[in-house]
Structure 1
Amino acid sequence: METMTNKYKDKMGMQYKLFSINSKDVQYSPESRTISGYAAVFGNVDKAHDILLKGCFSKSINERGPQSQANDKIILLWMHDMSEPLGFITELKEDDRGLYFEARIDEIELGDRAIKQLESGTLNQFSIGYEYVWENCEWDYEKEALIVREVKLYEISVVSIGCNGETEYLGLKSIEDYENAYKDLSGEISLLCKNMSTTKQQRLQKIIAKAMSLASFRPDGVIPAPPKGMEAGSNGKTEEKSLCNLLKLKSV
């Protein structure tokens, strides 16, 4: 097995995994405003060619689950929108089947809409927002799937259509080039995010993924000028302070 393959070169930063609702997996109660069921299932090869193993969410649950002391707990969102929290996750645990959750939807206009549309069937999908912990993931050539032993779980969302947070990093000639570049980039991002809150880390990952997507679709021959404050320094490298100014990450 290998820790990284060319097949997974585009799975950097924030990812979203879709889970369709059915009567066995997720239940909701308009009276108590609760949702309960499974947000992920272990052991099967999903559409993203992942095999989630029991334990892959355990660190996230311990550090930021509903029973933790964290301020940035794993949350229930509307359509992966961090500005639209839908409710509070009251229970989150792994069992032999998968990731079980219980959540209470807040008494807000958006919450009322979610309950009505879940009840009518207009909304029938959930999605989790997460990040791969690559050192604990391995590609299995026989199963043609990524064995996932750990992810960073950020949120569970009610969604209408599953989002796809994959981006593509182009211009590398070989898998060795990619692995080296990925390792360097991961190290730089980890260093920059070291003292950031989870929310800020997530925002930074999204900005990086968006920038990489824009670079992929840039017309040939068009080289954009660097944003003001992002000019290369005398050593040819962009200063970290300038990057932080560009990202405009504010305290949460």
Structure 2
Amino acid sequence: MTTKKETRTFNIENLNTRDGGEGESVIGGYAAVFNSPTEIGGGCFTEEIAPGAFSRAIAENSDIRALFNHDWNNVLGRTKSGTLQLSEDERGLKFEVTLPNTSLGRDLKESMQRGDINECSFGFIPTEEHWDYNVEPAKRMILEVDLFEISVVSIPAYEDTEASVIRSKEVNEQVEKRMNLIKKINTTLEAI
């Protein structure tokens, strides 16, 4: 099981912006989509998120944040304050954020309405996962996570490039070792 915090980036599905009560601006959509295969590590393995993967985290963690570009200094909303609502439905992890009336909030709303920013990411640690090494590339199914934040992002990549490259290299090496071991076992079994 992985214990490092990971991030994933997705196009925001069904993105919407609207004016809330008392001049508030609200953005929303899907931060993650279930059963949607995604290539990770340059095609080293595919990954899917299982329905229900976020339900425990949503129920137990009363202080998940919505950020801009994974920057903890750019908080857009929090579940604790009621400015971020998270839920799961049959499609994925749905979110709605009441933006702060700050330059960041107003600028983000404008950029999203123009279509300049339309992607989302989330920071998590998988707590339950299943790997299938009998297929190439290997397949990882994320069954449950600890969710720390969702982020509206301007660039569809990991925020910390250096850390992502190092993590991806580690994951690639791990998957490659397991795939080679499975090939050796299969070759041995075929010879018997």
TM > 0.5 fold call? yes
1:63 aligns with 2:60: yes
1:118 corresponds, among 109, 112, 117, to: 112
Whether the 8 Å CA contact 2:65–2:84 is kept in 1: the answer is: no
2:70 corresponds, among 80, 86, 107, to: 80
Q: Secondary structure of 1:47's match? A: strand
Whether the 8 Å CA contact 2:49–2:141 is kept in 1: the answer is: yes
Measured in 1, the distance between the counterparts of 2:17 and 2:65 equals 17
Measured in 2, the distance between the counterparts of 1:127 and 1:21 equals 9
Deviation at 1:175, TM superposition (A): 5.0
- Cα displacement string for residues 83-123 of structure 1 (whole angstroms, at most 9, x for unaligned residues): 11022443211111111111111111111110111111111
- TM-score, normalised to structure 1, is 0.55
Measured in 1, the distance between the counterparts of 2:24 and 2:15 equals 15
Measured in 2, the distance between the counterparts of 1:123 and 1:161 equals 8
Whether the 8 Å CA contact 1:16–1:163 is kept in 2: the answer is: no
1:157 aligns with 2:151: yes
Whether the 8 Å CA contact 1:55–1:94 is kept in 2: the answer is: yes
More relative contact order in 1 or in 2 (CA 8 Å, sep 6+)?
Answer: 2
Larger of the two Rg values belongs to structure: 1
2:94 corresponds, among 86, 90, 100, to: 100
Whether the 8 Å CA contact 2:66–2:84 is kept in 1: the answer is: no
Give 1:41's aligned residue. Answer: 33
Deviation at 1:132, TM superposition (A): 1.7
* Residue identity (%): 30
Q: After the TM superposition, which parts of structure 1 deviate over 3 Å for at least 4 consecutive aligned residues?
A: 168-172
Give 2:184's aligned residue. Answer: none
Give the strand-richer structure, 1 or 2: 2
Q: Secondary structure of 1:107's match? A: coil
Measured in 1, the distance between the counterparts of 2:116 and 2:177 equals 43
- In the alignment, structure 1 segments of 5+ residues that lack a partner are 4-10, 65-69, 177-252
- In the alignment, structure 2 segments of 5+ residues that lack a partner are 41-45, 179-192
Measured in 1, the distance between the counterparts of 2:122 and 2:177 equals 29
- TM-score, normalised to structure 2, is 0.71
Give 2:125's aligned residue. Answer: 131
Measured in 2, the distance between the counterparts of 1:169 and 1:40 equals 24
